[in-house]
Amino acid sequence: MNKYEQLINAGESLRVEFKQTFSKEALESITAFANTNGGYLFVGVNDKGLILGIDVNNEIIKNWQNQIKLLTTPSLFPDIKIMTIQNKTIAVVLVQEHPLKPVSIKGRYIKRLGSSNHLISTDEIVMFQLSSFNISYDSIVSKSENQLNYESVNRFITLIKQSGRYKVEGNYDVTLNKLGILRNGKLTFAGEALFNNPGVAIHIGRFKTKDIIIDDILIKKSLIDSIEDAISFIKKNISVAFEFDDEKTRRNDKWQYPLLVLRELLLNAIIHRDYSNPTDIIIKIFDNCIEFISPGGLFGSISLNDLNSDNYLASHRNKILAEAFYLIGEVEKYGTGIIRARRILKENYPNLILDFKEKQSFFVASLSQVFLTTQKTTQKTTQKTTQEMIVELLTQNTHMTGNELAEHIGISRDAIKQHIGTLKRKGILKRVGGRKLGRWLVIEKQL
């Protein structure tokens, strides 16, 4: 079995797409690959990976290449191969990631997420263009007349020295220029955000219901000074239990949510948000859930499926901010924070679910509490409680897999399958979309 047969057998993915014919959709996929990580477009294969074959020759291939060249800007020139697999003729278009992004198809900009194509927003187009020149938004010189807040700078330099991740040499201006926080002595957007007022705030609210706020705070400070204020307010509005060791001599505080995970989600919201969007970061604290909402969806080629499966490479919208928080020891540079957060939850907080969503141009990270079943229940009660648990989990995360449900609830994958079948027959659960990219729809009915 050659490389191309293996790709077809593996199915559609971030870098593989199937089309029965060379169509408008095929051209869009070629453009999406060029705007992401490159990829392979198989023509003559249906979306289930079944090889149907296609009538193709060198003259037709030249026509395809001409269409691609004329309809894309900058023009793309992918290699196209004709091959025989399972005694049927197909074509494969080999697309390289383009160095100058984004590429358009008839004026439309498209990117690849997971195994599907998505339109690129106007804000993302700007980010793509900056990224093509290895420039991030936060490296642009600010037009503000503000001077450096050296009290915040002193705190920043002290934290760098404590972390030991960077050797500070010369005066502070020299160090800040080397780190890209200053450019030729002028503040970049990163420097403005880190040490002065970034122009946006962190707005945190404690909600009793979705529309009743019982406490809130607006933190409009430099990012260096905002973190502890935000964590302090969150701690004030979540519960804490006191646990003692076996000898009852040492007390441990167990917070409703692990503080390290809360800090990770807060830092992600701060570092990866879109600072060209003037909207504040919003944190909502409910009785059994906390949400971090930040402007800007996922950046680069990473998808929600990648993030939820911990199968991703870190991609930074704000490279200088990411570097700055790495140097002071707040985050790991290589995107391991979410993986570490998941491990903490699995080991110490099995009743919490970490979930991610994209809503329009916003990214939402949430921690939700669920209530695990106890073993001391009758079979009838266990079955009912398990089904309630499934409904609650799928209400909070409509993309959960059977394996994830089984792990959270503590029963076998086969048992989950049986319960889901029962819930579907009752009209409580409905599957919307295909197997790979579909989701669960929870219908409001009594169990």
Alpha helices, DSSP H, located in 202-350: 223-236, 259-272, 304-308, 319-327, 337-348
Q: C-alpha angle 36/42/44, rounded to 5°?
A: 150
Laid out side by side, the sheet with 16-19 consists of 16-19, 39-43, 88-95, 79-85
Distance CA 384, CA 211 (A): 31
Number of other residues whose CB lies within 10 A of the CB of residue 290: 24
Distance CA 294, CA 277 (A): 10
Q: Which residues make Cβ contacts (< 8 Å) with residue 164, sequence separation at least 6?
A: none
Q: What local confidence, expressed as pLDDT, does residue 298 receive?
A: 80
Q: What local confidence, expressed as pLDDT, does residue 137 receive?
A: 79
137 DSSP assignment = G
- Average pLDDT for runs of 10 along the chain of length 447: 89 93 95 92 94 95 95 93 95 90 91 87 73 73 80 92 90 91 89 84 93 93 92 94 65 87 95 88 95 87 73 78 92 80 91 88 90 45 64 81 76 80 85 72 68
Is-contact 387 426, C-beta < 8 A?
Answer: no
Q: What local confidence, expressed as pLDDT, does residue 251 receive?
A: 67
Q: What local confidence, expressed as pLDDT, does residue 146 receive?
A: 75
Distance CA 19, CA 27 (A): 10
Is-contact 52 20, C-beta < 8 A?
Answer: yes
Exposure string of 398-431, with b = 16+ CB inside 10 Å and e = fewer, is: ebbebebbbebbebeeebbeebbebbeeeebbee
Distance CA 128, CA 435 (A): 31
Q: What local confidence, expressed as pLDDT, does residue 63 receive?
A: 96
Distance CA 44, CA 88 (A): 9
Domains and their CATH numbers in the chain? 3-120 (3.30.950.30), 202-369 (3.30.565.60), 379-442 (1.10.10.10)
Indicate the pairing of strand 16-19 with strand 39-43: parallel
Q: What local confidence, expressed as pLDDT, does residue 122 receive?
A: 75
Q: Which residues make Cβ contacts (< 8 Å) with residue 202, sequence separation at least 6?
A: 218, 219, 226, 230, 270, 280, 281, 283
Question: Token pair of 316, please?
Answer: 């930074």
Q: What local confidence, expressed as pLDDT, does residue 26 receive?
A: 95
> Distances in Å between the alpha carbon of 139 and those of 47, 156, 179?
42, 18, 10
Q: What local confidence, expressed as pLDDT, does residue 309 receive?
A: 72
Alpha helices, DSSP H, located in 397-437: 402-409, 413-425
Q: What local confidence, expressed as pLDDT, does residue 103 receive?
A: 92
Mapped onto helix, strand or coil, the DSSP state of residue 149 is: coil
